[in-house]
């Protein structure tokens, strides 16, 4: 089981200076709105090697009026205690892992794994395809660090191809070079799709079981990967992708970007074989989002061998008591961080640590024991 032992912040968001040690079980940050509770989850999340789960730029993470921030996190992962430091100065991150300087923040990917569940994830079902692609890609990047590099290569190739599409309208003689970028895009794109298929094969039975439990055995859940170029029954991914890129060139020239590929794919969710996005109630859609995040944690554990840390950002108040209980019962044997305004809204909590946050400072700490 992975867990965070402590974190130390300096000039991060609204924290001038803060040092906290945590319980291996449940940890709750509570207090009024806009006091810095989510900032703490955001700081710990950045140690997964990613960017802010709130979509903030790195420059926005530095405290107002300051030019640099520093963070130090001690954690247990990969069957040993580890230490990581992140420094942001002049718009650049520097990372040290176990006292060894690293070339980039991406070195953290795979070292420390976590799953975040925030209010925006409650809309995972009804919002656009990019949210569902980010869900699967984000989990894969943590579970398999090589996937993060694969995704980076694909996105760079895609960007180059899109630039070329725009240039060809002005310089038609460049048209012959498009084949080179098509080959590269197919190479990386096919690998991405295969990884996504494999991940969803792991995810599907777990989500089904969890959703079945949340719905009190009344509803059946299923999902399907929707490719932008593969038709039902087609298995030759490479050939199909390459042919579709060729047949789509005319429309690509017109719009100035690549209209097919894994960057345009989606995932469909079904409840009793009916589209959850089109016909699911708000309660059903939230149950699907909850089941997906809990299943993400299980799949990550099966791939990495470690139970990931779970961050629940202001979602407990959005869920009824039954769904709250379901979350806490499923996360009994892993470390959980929860933000809320009032800890009394979290039912069934019998042990753990409570931290009251006010204007970027810890003003009260309490340990609960059953």
List, for residues 313-358, the tens digit of each pLDDT value.
988 877 788 888 888 888 888 999 999 988 777 766 778 899 999 9
- The domain defined by 1-113+306-370 folds into Rossmann fold (3.40.50)
pLDDT at 97: 95
pLDDT at 151: 96
Q: Give the pLDDT band of residue 221 (cuts 50, 70, 90).
A: very high
pLDDT at 370: 64
In contact, 82 and 109? CB cutoff 8 Å = no
Q: What is the mean pLDDT of residues 148-162?
A: 96
pLDDT greater than 70 at residue 22: yes
Q: What is the mean pLDDT of residues 18-39?
A: 94
Most trustworthy range by pLDDT among 52-61, 97-106, 133-142, 232-241: 133-142
pTM: 0.90
pLDDT at 296: 95
Phi, psi angles (nearest 5°) of residue 298:
-65, -45
Architecture of domain 119-304: Up-down Bundle (1.20)
Better-predicted residue by pLDDT, 318 or 222: 222
Give the separation between CA 22 and CA 28, rounded to whole angstroms.
10
Give the separation between CA 107 and CA 110, rounded to whole angstroms.
8
Of the listed ranges 13-17, 91-95, 260-264, the least confidently predicted one is 91-95
pLDDT at 231: 80
pLDDT tens across 50-76, in order?
A: 788 888 888 899 999 999 999 999 999
Q: Give the pLDDT band of residue 263 (cuts 50, 70, 90).
A: very high
CA 28 vs. chain centroid, Å, equals: 21
Phi, psi angles (nearest 5°) of residue 234:
-75, 135
pLDDT greater than 80 at residue 169: yes
Which residue shows structure tokens 């003689």?
A: 173
pLDDT tens across 283-292, in order?
A: 899 899 999 9
Give the separation between CA 6 and CA 16, rounded to whole angstroms.
17
Give the separation between CA 148 and CA 142, rounded to whole angstroms.
8
* Mean pLDDT estimate for the chain: 91
Q: Where are the domains of the chain?
A: 1-113+306-370, 119-304
Q: What is the mean pLDDT of residues 165-188?
A: 93
Closest to 41 measured CA to CA, from 115, 91, 108:
115
């Amino acid at each position: 089981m992975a867990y965070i032992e402590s974190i130390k912040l300096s000039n991060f968001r609204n924290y001038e200076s803060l040092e906290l040690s945590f319980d291996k079980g449940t940890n709750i940050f509570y207090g009024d709105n806009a006091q810095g509770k989510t900032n703490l989850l955001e700081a710990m999340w950045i140690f997964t090697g990613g960017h802010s789960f709130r979509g903030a730029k790195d420059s926005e993470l530095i405290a107002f009026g300051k030019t640099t921030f520093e963070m130090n996190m001690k954690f247990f992962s990969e069957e040993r205690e580890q230490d990581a430091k992140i420094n942001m100065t002049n718009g650049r991150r520097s990372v040290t892992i176990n006292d060894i300087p690293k070339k980039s923040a991406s070195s953290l990917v795979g070292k420390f794994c976590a799953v975040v569940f925030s209010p925006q994830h409650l809309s995972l079902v009804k919002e656009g395809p990019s949210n569902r692609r980010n869900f699967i890609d984000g989990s894969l990047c943590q579970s398999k660090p090589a996937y993060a590099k694969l995704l980076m290569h694909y996105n760079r190739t895609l960007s180059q191809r899109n630039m070329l599409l725009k240039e060809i309208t002005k310089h038609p003689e460049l048209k012959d070079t498009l084949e080179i970028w098509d080959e590269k895009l197919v190479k990386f794109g096919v690998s991405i799709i295969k990884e996504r298929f494999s991940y969803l094969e792991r995810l599907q039975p777990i989500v089904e079981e969890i959703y079945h439990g949340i719905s009190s055995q009344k509803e059946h859940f299923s999902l399907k990967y929707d490719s932008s170029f593969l038709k039902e029954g087609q298995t030759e991914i490479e050939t199909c992708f390459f042919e579709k890129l060729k047949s789509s060139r005319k429309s690509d020239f017109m719009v100035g970007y690549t209209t097919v590929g894994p960057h345009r794919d989606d995932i469909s969710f079904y409840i009793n074989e009916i589209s959850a996005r089109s016909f699911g109630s708000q309660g059903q859609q939230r149950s699907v989002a909850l089941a997906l995040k809990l299943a993400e944690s299980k799949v990550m554990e099966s791939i990495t061998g470690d139970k990931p840390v779970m961050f629940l950002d202001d979602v407990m108040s959005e869920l009824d008591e039954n769904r709250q209980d379901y979350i806490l019962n499923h996360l009994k044997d892993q470390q959980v961080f929860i933000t809320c305004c009032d800890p009394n809204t979290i039912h069934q909590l019998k042990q753990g640590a409570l931290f009251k946050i006010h204007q970027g400072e810890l003003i009260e700490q309490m340990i609960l024991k059953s």
